[in-house]
Amino acid sequence: MSGTQRDFNEVYGLKFEDLYVGRTASASRTISEADILMFAGVSGDTNPVHLDGEFAASTMFGGRIAHGMLSAGLISAVFGTRLPGPGCIYLSQSLKFKAPVKIGDTVVARVTVTELKNEKRRAIFSTVCSVGDQIVLDGEAEILVPRRK
């Protein structure tokens, strides 16, 4: 193999055989005003509850909140980079938005294997985002995971 030829085995993530019920991983992020502005730009979701502090102060939230899909993006990041990581295919995700996320909140997104469907190499995960002790988002995901060659 030439020194410049790429071996994608080093890029690929975990295999189906590496998973077990209870295996878990997380990612976390302190949500900044810039994150909200960037998410508004990339999604087109310019709802003033995210962008307009005066309007947001008039709502039940009492101030600007992050887009729910920004927390969902953190779940996607755990799947795409940590558990299982590159090579997996995102099949489905359910999301229940339980509480708002405000600027300065640190969101922890955790995914945990709850079921393995061996014949279809699919893994079911619980997916929870929390700020401190408060669950802000929960749901379930189904991921197709490659087997070892």
Among 24, 77, 106, 134, binds its own copies (CB under 8 A): 77
Distances (CA, A) of 39 to 35, 48, 70, 137: 6, 13, 7, 17
Q: Least distance from C-beta 132 to its own copies, angstroms?
A: 20
Near its own copies by CB under 8 A, which window of 14-22, 65-73, 115-123, 128-136?
Answer: 65-73
Site string for its own copies, 88-107 (x = CB under 8 A): -xxxxxxxxx----------
Cα gap 52→66, rounded to integer Å: 12
Question: CB-wise, 22 or 35, nearer to its own copies?
Answer: 35
Three-class DSSP category at 101: coil
Cα gap 109→26, rounded to integer Å: 5
Cα gap 21→45, rounded to integer Å: 36
Binding to its own copies, residues 16-55 (CB under 8 A): 27, 29, 35, 38-39, 41-50, 52, 54-55
**Taking CB under 8 A as the rule, does residue 73 contact its own copies?**
yes
Q: Which helix (H) or strand (E) holds 137?
A: strand 134-144
Tokens of 34: 């810039």
**Taking CB under 8 A as the rule, does residue 70 contact its own copies?**
yes
Spatial CB neighbours of 119, under 8 Å, sequence gap ≥ 6 = none
Among 72, 83, 111, 128, binds its own copies (CB under 8 A): 72
Which residues make up the interface to its own copies (CB under 8 A)? 6, 8, 11, 27, 29, 35, 38-39, 41-50, 52, 54-55, 58-60, 67-70, 72-74, 76-77, 79-81, 85-87, 89-97
